[in-house]
Chain A
Amino acid sequence: MIDGLITVLPQLTAAISARRGESNDVLSHIRPKTYISRMFNPYEVLNKNLETLKFENEVKYPIALSKHLSNIKGIECLENNWDNYGAIAPNIFIISQVKKFLTLLPNQFLEALETEYVFPNPNGTISVEWRNHNNAVSIEFGAETANYFVCLNSEYNGDENIKNIEEHIPRALISSIAKVI
């Protein structure tokens, strides 16, 4: 039994090494051109748009949102009398409400929202507006409540004294934004 194994072992090891050698040959032939160049070529990575490399829902939403959040940083930094007519600096609590509201919005709403249309008012409130030619949706966030109006073909509608709008966005508001954008 042992003798048999001894005689077989060299043949087995030779066969394995031969296969390894063969596979090594194959790998050494393939790797530089396919695996290595495709996976690690930095030029190829740099030339591609990052958005297309990842899943759309994972990447596009944060990009649209982060654009607005970085814009809000500018609002956070405002000091009293920023408009030279005695405006007060925006309220921090209201800023956090606006951020929360924006995170709830669908991606297409965020993309349609111009960054500068998230803006402060002289009394510390913040407005978020979608404008498209003569149509508009304008939401104003106060510390306690919010209100919004919709202007479609010069006709105004809206709702006021809405509490927790940043947690429960009214359906009418969502459909109005969709109409305006």
Chain B
Amino acid sequence: MKNTFLAPLLVQLQKLFSSVVVPVEVNNSEAVVRGVYHKMNFDRSNQLKSNVFRSPVNKDEISVVRLDYCNINFCRSHFKQIEKPEGDYRKYYGFFHLLVHEVRSVQSDVVSSQESFKEHADIIHNYIEVQNQEPPLEIRIKIDKLLTLARVRLEHDLDPLIPWNKKVV
């Protein structure tokens, strides 16, 4: 009871007095955001597809930024900074955000990983992706549930009339 009351207060205090310290422990009330870089991660009504919650091969880490220890402009500039646009590829389209307790509600987790920068964290599903092999159903169902919880914010308009494979057509 005491902890739940104090935790948000502590977060605010940390923000106010120390922009340097980011705790390793990720609180349930925190929000995490992730940039999206390909039209294939959205459908025509700009809803996310399940492939945004998948790790690269041989990894179990979906890179996110902890919003409570920075601000949305920091995230935007970070997302923009790491884009490598080439036609429709690797172009920053927008981001989605989730609360940590939402991630944990589907038995996934958010862990701090401050190697690249201190606000960085990873969503983990407790499954390491294997090349050309579908994950077990348990993991796929977990991801499907996350889809319904995530909220998307598009920074570029995705015109539904333009087919996403326009480059090829």
- Taking beta carbons and an 8 Å cutoff, which residues of A are in contact with B? 70-71, 73-75, 77-79, 81-88, 91, 94, 114-117, 119-125, 127, 129, 134, 136, 138, 140-147, 149, 151, 156, 158-160
Task: State the Cβ distance, A140 to closest chain B Cβ, in Å.
Answer: 4
Nearest-neighbour CB distance to chain B for A70, whole angstroms, equals 7
Complex: A122 Cα to B49 Cα, angstroms: 12
CA distance A88 to B55 in the complex (A): 11
Inter-subunit contact A123/B129 (CB<8 Å)? yes
Q: Could you say which of B10-18, B110-118, B134-142 contacts chain A?
A: B134-142
Taking a contact as CB atoms under 8 Å apart, the answer to whether B84 and A84 are in contact is yes
- The reply to whether B43 and A123 contact each other, CB–CB distance below 8 Å, is no
* Chain B 134-163 interface 0/1 with A at a Cβ cutoff of 8 Å (1 = within): 111100110010001000000000000001
19 intermolecular pairs with C-beta atoms under 8 Å apart? A73-B168, A77-B167, A78-B40, A81-B90, A82-B90, A84-B89, A116-B40, A117-B49, A122-B57, A123-B129, A123-B131, A123-B133, A124-B57, A125-B134, A134-B148, A140-B140, A141-B134, A142-B133, A143-B133
A143 and B132 in contact, given A73-B165, A82-B38, A119-B49 (Cβ under 8 angstroms): yes
Q: Would A70 and B43 count as touching, CB distance under 8 A?
A: no
The interface of chain B, by Cβ under 8 A from chain A, is 35, 37-38, 40-44, 49-51, 54-57, 59, 62-63, 82-84, 89-90, 129-137, 140-141, 144, 148, 163-165, 167-169
Measured CB to CB, the nearest residue on chain A to B91 is: A84
